[in-house]
Amino acid sequence: MRMRSTGLGKTELLGTIADITRADDYLVLQVSTIEPVKWKVRVALDIKDILTMLGIMLKKPSRLVFVLTHLFKGAPSGPPPEF
């Protein structure tokens, strides 16, 4: 996973999804960054956030097609274009 933050300028963080746990009415996505720093980042998603993500995926069928066609494909060959 590649992440960027406006607070870090052009720095790109590399990380992995470590876990998804339930905490009351939230799903907590836990991400471990591995480069250039080792951080543990947590995002608490409520049902509204999850429905928003699903809605965004379904608004453009090409997004869903992308996910379905890449389920069994290997890792990308290189970094994405500027994002």
Q: What is the mean pLDDT of the chain?
A: 91
Sheet holding 40-45, edge to edge: 2-4, 12-23, 26-35, 40-45
pLDDT of residue 70: 87
pLDDT in tens, 40-74: 999 999 999 999 999 999 999 899 888 888 888 87
pTM score, two decimals? 0.72
Q: Nearest-5° angle of CA 6, CA 28, CA 47?
A: 95
Contact between 27 and 21 under an 8 Å Cβ cutoff? The reply is yes
Domain segments of the chain as ranges: 2-69
DSSP 19-65: EEEEETTEEEEEEEEEESS--EEEEEE-HHHHHHHHHHHHHSHHHHH
